[in-house]
Amino acid sequence: MIVVTALLCGFAGCGEGEPERRHTEPQRLTAVERAAAASGYDAIRSYCRRLGLHLTGRGAAPGPGAQGRAVEGARAIAALARRKPEAPYAPDQTISQLAADTAEDLEGTNCSARLVVELERGL
C-alpha cells in the first residue's frame, strides 16, 4: 500500500508543482462604468483646462461646481481602479492605468493636488 501511494504521489506530484489555476472571467467595465470613467476624465480635463486659462489671464476661474465634478470624477475613476484594476478602459489602457496616467499628468501642474490624491487612492 505504501509503495502504491508513493508511486502515485511520484507521478501525480501530490500537491507539488503548479498551483491550482482558477478559471475566472476577465474583468470588464460595464457600459455604465465606462461612461462614468469617461465622464470623470472629461470633468478633470475640463476643470484643469479652465483653471489653466484663468491662471494665464485668459478666462474666468472655474467655479466650485466644476471643481466638485472633477473631484467626483477622480473618485469614480479611483473606485473603478480598485474594484476592477485590470479591466480595459481603452484598447491599450486599463482603468488602473487611466488612474495612474491621469495622476501622473496632473503632478507638477497648477491644476489640483487634491485630484492627484483622489486618483492615487485607486492605485
Kindly tell me the sign of the dihedral angle through the C-alpha atoms of 82, 88, 90, 91: positive
Domain definitions of the chain by residue range:
30-120
pLDDT in tens, 54-80: 999 999 999 999 999 999 999 999 999
CB-CB contact of 95 with 30 (8 Å): no
Kindly tell me the sign of the dihedral angle through the C-alpha atoms of 31, 37, 40, 45: negative
- Indicate the burial class of 44 (C-beta count within 10 angstroms; 0-12, 13-18, 19 or more): buried
pLDDT in tens, 9-38: 444 445 555 555 555 678 999 999 999 999
DSSP structure class, residue 18: S
Closest CA to 120 of 108, 104, 112, 109: 104
Q: What is the pLDDT of residue 108?
A: 85
Q: What is the pLDDT of residue 43?
A: 98
Q: What is the pLDDT of residue 121?
A: 93
Query: How far is it, in rounded angstroms, from Cα 6 to Cα 11?
Result: 9
CA 111 to chain centre: 20
- Which amino acid, 36? A
- What is the three-class DSSP state of 78? helix
Residue 2 in this model has a pLDDT that exceeds 80:
no
Mean residue pLDDT of the chain comes to 87
pLDDT in tens, 86-102: 999 999 999 999 999 99
Phi, psi of 97 (to 5 degrees): -70, -35
